[in-house]
Structure 1
């Protein structure tokens, strides 16, 4: 599956199925409501500093998947197999944040913004 980094898209494989994820404005609003940080910038800073939790990763990943059209729930994602395991999920979450707040190639959140 091809993704468009200029549109903030990141590829992720959930239960063996390729999915497109991106943090739309609606997904960001959902993420802000669900997270334990005071702001989205605080969440980005946690990722940049490597101080994110599994809950942070799941929240970002779920918001991104919903922004990409995935119909699953938080419970579905919690039970799903994410390609690359916890490290792969954290990498996708960091890429989602980077692509939501920076142009491809700018490298926010310490994440690679190459094809992904």
Structure 2
């Protein structure tokens, strides 16, 4: 569960879709890379990237969804973690910090519409 060297010491590059967060007391870089987006397509049974973006823009994410999203973002940022590891991690700022982090991650990958997902409600 150790982040890659650049992720631990470097700064997030928003132009590459990276976001930075303090998770379990460590500064980490998260990024939804092409590989992690493919991972999310499979996890959420989306038929395309557009389908995945639509899925996130409607809101109503469950805790398990947040674990999958954070895990994909951490792995995309070079952090060697499993979803089981992510389930036990704490994000600086608690639940509000987690919602902001997931919103920032989705916004960096898809634009601002998808960032509303963590705070949305079930339709």
Task: Name the TM-score class by shorter chain.
Answer: 0.7 to 0.9
2:72 pairs with 1:67: no
2:30 pairs with 1:21: yes
Q: Does 89-98 or 28-37 show the bigger shift?
A: 28-37
CA shift, 1:47, in A, is 4.0
Q: Tell me the TM-score normalised to structure 1 length.
A: 0.77
- Residue pair 2:53, 2:110 contacting (<8 A) in 1 also: no
After the TM superposition, which parts of structure 1 deviate over 4 Å for at least 4 consecutive aligned residues?
36-40
C-alpha distance in structure 1 between counterparts of 2:17 and 2:101, whole Å: 12
C-alpha distance in structure 2 between counterparts of 1:11 and 1:87, whole Å: 15
> How many residues are treated as equivalent by the alignment?
107
Q: Does 72-81 or 41-50 show the bigger shift?
A: 41-50
Given candidates 72, 78, 83, the residue that maps to 2:87 is: 78
Structure number with bigger Rg: 2
C-alpha distance in structure 1 between counterparts of 2:52 and 2:62, whole Å: 10
Distance 1:94 1:14, change over 3 A: same
Distance 1:88 1:54, change over 3 A: same
- Residue pair 1:15, 1:81 contacting (<8 A) in 2 also: yes
Distance 1:100 1:91, change over 3 A: same
> Which residues of structure 2 form unaligned runs of 5+?
1-9, 117-123
Match of 1:32? Answer: 41
Distance 1:98 1:15, change over 3 A: same
Distance 1:110 1:34, change over 3 A: closer
Q: Tell me the TM-score normalised to structure 2 length.
A: 0.73
C-alpha distance in structure 2 between counterparts of 1:58 and 1:5, whole Å: 22
Equivalent residue runs for 1:5-20 within 5 Å:
5-20=14-29
CA shift, 1:3, in A, is 1.1
